[in-house]
Amino acid sequence: MEHARQRQGQGANPRGLKLTDILVTIVIAVVFGIIYKIWGPMYDVVKPLGTHAEQTIYGMWFLAGTFAFLVIRKPGVALLAEIAAASISALLGSEWGLSTLYYGALQGLGAEIVFAIFLYRYANVWVTSLAALGAAAGSLVLDFGYGYIESLSTWNYTLLIGFRALGSIVIAGVFASALSKALELTGVTKALRPASQADYDALNRA
């Protein structure tokens, strides 16, 4: 515990992305880009189940950004992961075409802003869920821009946002946190995090 305090006090904080961080982020993005492509048809499968039922699974498209940050915990990771995953999905023939890249960028930015507000120091399920909501907000901006939801009634609009928010929290917040914790048990993630973050985690556990 004392050792952790000493190292934390030295101000060691290598926050910049290293080549290893970028490569790991890209690998994560490739995996999720493939998942995004597979997940696309699920949107239409769930849709007939009820009004805006498809919004409950929308959070899957935010998972790359939140999960990648939980693994690496450095600035820019959430944004990079979302853009890269969207790019892979688009290359694989996403039914939404080039707009997939725009969504990836704004969703990643939304998550990135939330992590930045907390100075990239906190990655618990609450902050991750807020980041998921940030990504959802980014997606809604483009939905408005493309005119997908501007003609909805107040009730339908409220239901759509509510279901999307709920799905985002469950999938890109709670599930992302659980998935990262499972990965942490292997010890893989420790080597990928900044020294000060590793010390901060150790201090909290002590």
Q: Can you give the residue range of the structural domain that contains 161?
A: 19-193
Q: Give the integer Cα–Cα distance in Å for 132 and 67.
A: 10
Under the phi-then-psi rule, with left for phi > 0, alpha for psi from -120 to 50, and beta for the rest, what region is 176? alpha
Q: Are 81 and 22 in contact (CB under 8 A)?
A: no
Whether residue 54 is contained in a domain is answered as: yes
Whether residue 8 is contained in a domain is answered as: no
CA atoms within 13 A on the CB side of 165: 8
C-alpha pair distances (Å), 197 with each of 7, 11, 50, 152: 10, 11, 44, 45
Whether residue 205 is contained in a domain is answered as: no
The total of structural domains in the chain comes to: 1
pTM of the complete model beyond 0.75: yes
Domain at 162, CATH number: 1.10.1760
**pLDDT tens per residue across span 117-176:** 999 988 899 999 999 999 999 999 988 877 777 677 788 888 999 999 999 999 999 999
Whether residue 60 is contained in a domain is answered as: yes
Whether residue 202 is contained in a domain is answered as: no
